[in-house]
Structure 1
Amino acid sequence: MPEQPVYALGRIGYDFPTQTRRDSVKQRMGDTAEPEDPADMLAHLDENPSDAEALQWTLNLQGVPIYFLEPRGAYAAQTYELLRQFLREQLEEGVERVSVPGVISGVGRHRSGAEIPIVAPALRGMYSWTTEALVSAVAGSGDGTGAEKKSSKPTAGQREAVRGGVTNFLERVYYEIRNLGLEPRERAINFAATNAFSVEAVYEHAVRQNMELDTIDVEPSPLCPPNSDCWDVKLTFFFPERPVPSARRVYRFTVDVADVVPATIGTMRTWAIR
């Protein structure tokens, strides 16, 4: 039976499978440290990195654990180190989200009694970011990066419009289309949010025509290489200054989710609709 792939977005957390486990970790931390305090826990793990395996690492969506994260294989130690890094970045640098690709490897029990799927993360596809940093990376921050590298430089107003558009797309994925990253269409849209460079190309074109985002759709791609699983991410824009009804424009890019870590394929396409 094939393994169930996952590509989920959320925030890193941790817990303890039992009260006994919590107490045993507490004894190793000392009298003044609290296991539930992330700063205390990170300080303890800096000195005792092997204790990371004693924790029940979680991926949380709006504060609710949706997956347990259990690194496995030859690079398990590096993956635990990255989980610690993500937690530290959330605590100290304001990181808002992380991406966790992987496969479902079982089911675990939370201290609350709830059964939660266990994900074996794929290290090569794990990233952390803030929305502002991701937008700055793809849309430029006024210092000669991002969209400003294009041969036809956008104006300052257009650059800010691109930044606002990409931010709007990301926020809609995070809050309006939030999902568990299990189904192929969910993994495609989650990867699109992580790989926002594809979205930046859409917005740079749309902003020049004074359009705004209307809908986000994901559907199976009719064309796909062998042994692939391709999904078209379609962003439909409208002209807010024109009377309704008026022509709208669709921008499409394709994501292949056959692998645990998806990839974009082909080039962006666009056409007008009514």
Structure 2
Amino acid sequence: MDRTSTPADTDTDTDTTTDTDTVYAVGRIGVDFRSPARRDGFRRQLGGTAGGPLPDLGDVRQLHDHLVRSPWASAGLTWTLTVDSTAVYALEAEPAVAMDWSGPLPGTEPDGSDEERLALLRRITAAPPVHPVHRALRDTLLGQSLPAGDPGRIARLTVPGRLTDRSARLFSGQVVPVVRVSAVGLARWTETPLIASAVDAVAEDAWQPRPARDRDRVAEHVRALLDQVYRHLRNRGRSAAERALNHAVTEAVLTGGLLGEGLLSAGRVPGAPAPDAADLYALDTITVARSPYCRSGSDCQDVMVRFFDPTDERRTKVTYVHTIDVSDELPVSLAPVHRFLG
């Protein structure tokens, strides 16, 4: 029997599907120019000259470098969040309250030397401060273009925000709603470190009295699990159930809990496994339901992530329950993750 997880496995309680103006979505970042005139104008900004060859807007690194040198140029782009290569939102940054250099600044001490002050001036000139949301968008766009296995590769971006009453018409003619993105809660899925941390957790596991596992095989197992997780996150992040799902999975994956703990679920099942039993469990289903436990004035959802033995369906499954409060713009976990058999 094929136990590959599908989006249909992500069940939701029927009382939790009402859309709100709060968005907590996971997807990939894209750029759009809306019109030929805006596209050609942006090409000129990249260094094109009248009558000469125009820069390639498909060169992500060239575009990223331009945005680092001129962060205000981000306003000339329409940033999009795509799910399965389809744009679902146009993104705009919330009003700025601070700018970000994304690193320590040299020469900021009151008694700094002239050399330190000069270094600071050069730093400001080369890479002016930028809104944290725009920095996350431009860095994610570059990270998505890196090859698989690159430490800087970014697979997804988690975007919290609020739906506005405006829409944007893209270059293709598609009309999408505009979301005002919050700088708090943005999370980048850096794939290679995630896989490495999960592989390390499996390698250090003391539950299974088995020979040392092949790290390459475990890494392939983790990549397959991540692909299943991505399929579960194909939603718009609007309903309470979708926001709870996206937050629980983002938090669990980025902290390593979902990957390492889930794969090692076999060691949590009492009794000796069969000789041919799998030493690593696989993802079965992810379901969401309204939580029976909730504090006053909140909207709480239980996200249940279930793992199973892919070689023996009779063996006990292991379920991990995340309780998420989605009443605010940024969802929060209410309790430690609970684990039970079945």
Instruction: Name the residue aligned to 1:183.
Output: 239
1:83 is matched with which residue: 117, 137, 150?
137
* Larger proportion of strand: 1
Question: How far does residue 57 in structure 1 lie from its aligned partner after superposition?
Answer: 0.7
Alpha-carbon offset, residue 17 of structure 1: 1.9
> SS of 1:266's equivalent?
coil
Tell me the amino acid that sits aligned with residue 191 of structure 1: H
Q: 1:173 aligns with which of 229, 248, 255?
A: 229
Residue 264 of structure 1 corresponds to which residue in structure 2? 333
CA–CA distance in 2 between the matches of 1:207 and 1:158? 17
Aligned to 2:290: 220
Larger RCO (alpha carbons 8 Å, 6+ apart) = 2
CA contact 2:78–2:90 (8 Å) conserved in 1: yes
AA aligned to 2:231 is Y
Q: Is the 8 A contact 2:288 2:301 kept in 1?
A: yes
Q: 1:86 to 1:108 in 2, by over 3 A?
A: same
Q: Contact 1:58/1:66 (CA < 8 Å) preserved in 2?
A: yes
Q: Secondary structure at the match of 1:181?
A: coil
TM-score by length of 1: 0.82
Whole-angstrom CA distance in 2 between matches of 1:158 and 1:191: 31
Give the secondary-structure state (helix, strand or coil) at the position aligned to 1:45: helix
**2:29 counterpart of 1:12:** yes
Return closer, same or farther for 1:259/1:159 CA change in 2, 3 Å cut-off: farther
> Residue 234 in 1 paired to residue 234 in 2?
no
Are the aligned partners of 1:100 and 1:125 in contact in 2 as well (CA < 8 Å)? yes
More displaced 10-residue stretch of structure 1: 95-104 or 127-136: 127-136
Q: 1:202 to 1:226 in 2, by over 3 A?
A: farther
Map 1:114-125 to 2 at 5 A.
114-125=174-185
- Runs of 5+ consecutive residues of structure 1 not aligned to the other structure: none
1:128 alignment partner, one of 188, 194, 199: 188
Query: Matched residues in 2 for 1:159 and 1:255: separation?
Result: 33
Q: 5+ unaligned residues in a row in structure 2: which ranges?
A: 1-18, 49-53, 98-129, 147-151, 270-278
Classify the secondary structure of the residue corresponding to 2:336.
Answer: strand
Counterpart Cα distance in 1 of 2:315 and 2:208: 26
Partner of 2:7: none
Distance 1:256 1:203, change over 3 A: same
Say whether the 8 Å CA contact 1:7–1:181 is kept in structure 2.
yes
Instruction: Measure, in 2, the Cα distance between the counterparts of 1:22 and 1:174.
Output: 31
Distance of aligned partners of 1:270 and 1:159 in 2 relative to their CA distance in 1, 3 Å threshold: farther
Any conservation in 2 of the 1:166–1:199 contact (CA below 8 Å)? no
Rounded to whole Å, the distance in 1 between the matches of 2:163 and 2:226 is: 26
- Figure out how many residues of one structure are paired with residues of the other and give that number: 265
Inter-CA distance 158–236: structure 2 relative to 1 (3 Å threshold): farther
Query: Could you tell me how far 1:73 is from its partner in structure 2?
Result: 0.8
Would you say the 8 A contact 2:27–2:158 is kept in 1?
A: yes
| 2:94 is equivalent to residue 72 of structure 1 | yes
CA deviations on 1:211-259 (whole Å, 9 max, x unpaired) are 54322211110111122221111123444555x6565443322122222
Name the larger-Rg structure.
2
Is 1:97 aligned with 2:117? no
The 1:200/1:264 distance shift into structure 2, 3 A limit, reads farther
| Alpha-carbon distance change, 235 to 30 in structure 1, aligned in 2, over 3 angstroms | closer
**AA matched with 1:45:** L
Deviations 1:78-99 (A, max 9, x none): 3112211212222343321111
Kept in 2, the 8 Å contact 1:147–1:154? The answer is: no
Separation in structure 2 between the aligned mates of residue 88 and residue 240 of structure 1, nearest angstrom = 36
Residues 54-69 of structure 1: matches in 2 within 5 Å?
54-69=76-91
Instruction: Determine if contact 2:262/2:307 at 8 Å carries over to the other structure.
Output: no
More displaced stretch, 82-91 vs 216-225: 82-91
Partner of 1:123: helix, strand, or coil?
A: coil
Distance 1:177-1:33 versus aligned 2 partners, 3 A rule: closer
Q: CA RMSD in A?
A: 3.1
